[in-house]
């Protein structure tokens, strides 16, 4: 699976973190919990130890630990945090085999939920946790965390992947305006090209960026139901709906002047070099990627919301696409403390404590955007809420890694090959189908 930058969205927010409180907002307490304050009331998990493992380090870890502290104050539990590093599977595997997994793990890909469920390494979520999921999440997210008829996981942190970042000065110089449709985006590209600037810096050496681009176009043109079917390989990649999406991509891939350095340059540019090309080097006007682009602005001097602007990924069909990546909390030891912690993370209360920290987006529909510390994050959160039932998870991260998450293989390579030769839509579909069929059989 793809590896995102370690600090990912940590630099997204412009404002410092707001003070973290433990205001319950009128939400139900954690399983079996009593009020955290007042009258010296006993706390339901007093003295209980809970270990939680996740990939976060640095600022992301510090922000998450503020959420854990709020849970401790509420329940009396003592929570310890273990960082898995970027390869969560490599960290958890030996601990599972040794019979000593953490109480709670937060997994960076839903595919790991399926894998660990097959290995009987997960515990079903309690009725109290599932009540929070039913109250705060759409049915799609519940299904995403389920396997073999049991609910094992809940998405607790999201990355917003349906964005186009643009350089305001390039748009001003060309007289362009943000696009609301795919056709507008293509017209903008021509306007920018005519003004003497390359419209797109594509990070095509990092194949996962092309899967993100395809997924946005496909969700918009084919709709959520077909998106779900393709993600499970219930329809083939030779389907007409895939052809439509690839033909849209060919409108960009087929014009070398639309891509900095042409197709060859795009295929030699990794992420986040493409961000540098747009904002530091000012060689291109746009980069198509997620909210974590903000963490790669570096020394460019471009401020989010000023020179570094975003637009929602423009509609290429009937659906306004909203695609998320993110992290799923699971229980690996079935005890009261583990279930209570996941219940808290799935609640409105826990989500709002976390939302006050920078670099966080919640998929919980009841976490108000007003909790976020800056206007950009509020805007992104609102698009998730507004998308409702049509929001979807990154398709390549749902697929077997041999197809959707391996450099130089499967979907990554096939879309890179299509970028080289965008006139061969049929050939690209046949390659994608052959590789998907092989991976999904295993």
Domain edges within the chain: 49-159+325-393, 163-321+399-441
Topology of the domain covering 49-159+325-393: D-Maltodextrin-Binding Protein; domain 2 (3.40.190)
Question: What is the pTM (predicted TM-score) of this model?
Answer: 0.84
Query: CB count, 10 Å around CB of 94?
Result: 10
pLDDT at 427: 98
Using CA atoms, how far apart are residues 417 and 61, in angstroms rounded to an integer?
38
Asked if residue 398 lies in contact with residue 36, where contact means CB atoms within 8 angstroms, the answer is no
Structure tokens at 351: 């989500």
- Pairing verdict, β 163-167 and 284-287: antiparallel
- What three-state secondary structure class fits 439? helix
Using CA atoms, how far apart are residues 334 and 343, in angstroms rounded to an integer?
13
pLDDT at 87: 87
Which of 168, 182, 48 lies closest to 104 in space, CA to CA?
Answer: 48
Using CA atoms, how far apart are residues 183 and 206, in angstroms rounded to an integer?
26
DSSP secondary structure letters along 38-81: STTPPPTTTT-EEEEEES--HHHHHHHHHHHHHHHHHH--EEEE
Number of H helices, E strands in the chain: 18, 12
Asked if residue 129 lies in contact with residue 342, where contact means CB atoms within 8 angstroms, the answer is yes
Asked if residue 41 lies in contact with residue 35, where contact means CB atoms within 8 angstroms, the answer is yes
pLDDT at 40: 54
Which of 212, 157, 161 lies closest to 327 in space, CA to CA?
Answer: 157
pLDDT at 401: 85
Q: How far is CA 196 from the centre of its chain?
A: 34
- For the chain, report the end-to-end CA distance as a whole number of angstroms: 17
Same fold, 49-159+325-393 and 163-321+399-441: yes
- What three-state secondary structure class fits 310? strand
Residues 264, 268, 273: CA angle, nearest 5 degrees = 130
Per-residue pLDDT of the chain (442 residues; tens, 9 = 90+): 444 443 343 334 333 333 333 333 333 333 333 333 434 568 999 999 999 999 999 989 999 999 999 999 999 999 999 999 888 989 999 999 999 999 999 999 888 898 899 999 999 999 999 999 999 999 999 999 999 899 999 999 999 999 999 999 999 999 999 999 999 999 999 999 999 999 999 999 999 999 999 999 999 999 999 999 999 999 999 999 999 999 999 999 999 999 999 999 999 999 999 999 999 999 999 999 999 999 899 889 999 999 999 999 999 999 999 999 999 999 999 999 999 999 999 999 999 999 999 889 999 999 999 999 999 999 999 999 989 899 999 999 999 889 998 999 999 999 999 999 999 999 999 999 999 999 999 7
- Domain 163-321+399-441 listed as CATH 3.90.1570.10: no
Using CA atoms, how far apart are residues 89 and 194, in angstroms rounded to an integer?
48
Using CA atoms, how far apart are residues 82 and 65, in angstroms rounded to an integer?
11
| Tokens 């970042």 -> residue | 165
């Amino acid at each position: 699976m793809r590896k995102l930058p370690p600090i990912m969205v940590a630099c997204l927010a412009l404002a410092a973190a707001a003070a973290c409180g433990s205001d319950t907002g009128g939400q139900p307490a954690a399983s079996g919990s009593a009020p955290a304050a007042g009258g010296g009331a006993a706390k339901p998990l007093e003295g209980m130890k809970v270990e939680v493992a996740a990939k976060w380090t640095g600022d992301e870890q510090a922000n998450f630990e503020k959420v854990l502290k709020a849970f401790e104050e509420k329940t009396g539990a003592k929570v310890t945090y273990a960082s898995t590093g970027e390869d969560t599977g490599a960290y958890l595997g030996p601990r599972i085999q040794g019979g000593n997994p953490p109480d709670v793990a937060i997994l960076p890909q839903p595919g790991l939920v399926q894998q660990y469920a097959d290995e009987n390494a997960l515990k079903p979520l309690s009725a109290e946790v599932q009540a929070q999921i039913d109250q705060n999440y759409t049915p799609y997210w519940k299904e995403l965390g389920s396997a073999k008829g049991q609910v094992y996981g809940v998405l607790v942190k999201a990355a917003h992947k349906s964005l186009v970042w643009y350089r305001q000065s390039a748009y001003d110089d060309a007289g362009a305006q943000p696009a609301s449709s795919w056709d507008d985006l293509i017209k903008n590209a021509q306007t920018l090209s005519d003004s003497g600037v390359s419209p797109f810096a594509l990070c095509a050496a990092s194949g996962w960026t092309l899967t993100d681009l395809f997924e946005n176009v496909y969700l918009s043109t084919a709709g959520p139901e077909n998106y779900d079917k393709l993600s499970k390989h219930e329809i083939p990649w030779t389907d007409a709906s895939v052809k439509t999406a690839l033909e849209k991509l060919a409108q960009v891939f087929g014009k070398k002047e639309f891509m900095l350095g042409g197709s060859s340059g795009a295929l030699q540019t990794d992420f986040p070099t493409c961000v540098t090309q747009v904002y530091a080097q000012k060689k291109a006007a746009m980069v198509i990627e997620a909210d974590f682009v903000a963490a790669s602005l570096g020394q460019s001097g471009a401020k989010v919301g000023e020179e570094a602007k975003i637009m929602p990924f423009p509609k290429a069909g009937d659906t306004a696409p909203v695609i998320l990546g993110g992290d799923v909390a699971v229980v690996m030891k079935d005890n009261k403390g583990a279930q209570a912690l996941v219940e808290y993370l799935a609640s409105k209360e826990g989500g709002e404590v976390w939302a006050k920290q920078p670099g966080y987006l919640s998929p919980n529909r009841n976490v108000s955007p007003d909790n976020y510390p800056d206007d950009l994050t509020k805007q992104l959160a609102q698009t998730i809420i507004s998308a409702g039932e049509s929001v979807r998870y990154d398709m390549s991260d749902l697929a077997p890694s041999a197809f959707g998450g391996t450099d130089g293989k499967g979907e990554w390579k096939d879309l890179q090959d299509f970028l080289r030769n965008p006139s061969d839509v049929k050939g690209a579909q046949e390659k994608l189908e052959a590789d998907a069929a092989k991976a999904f059989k295993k």
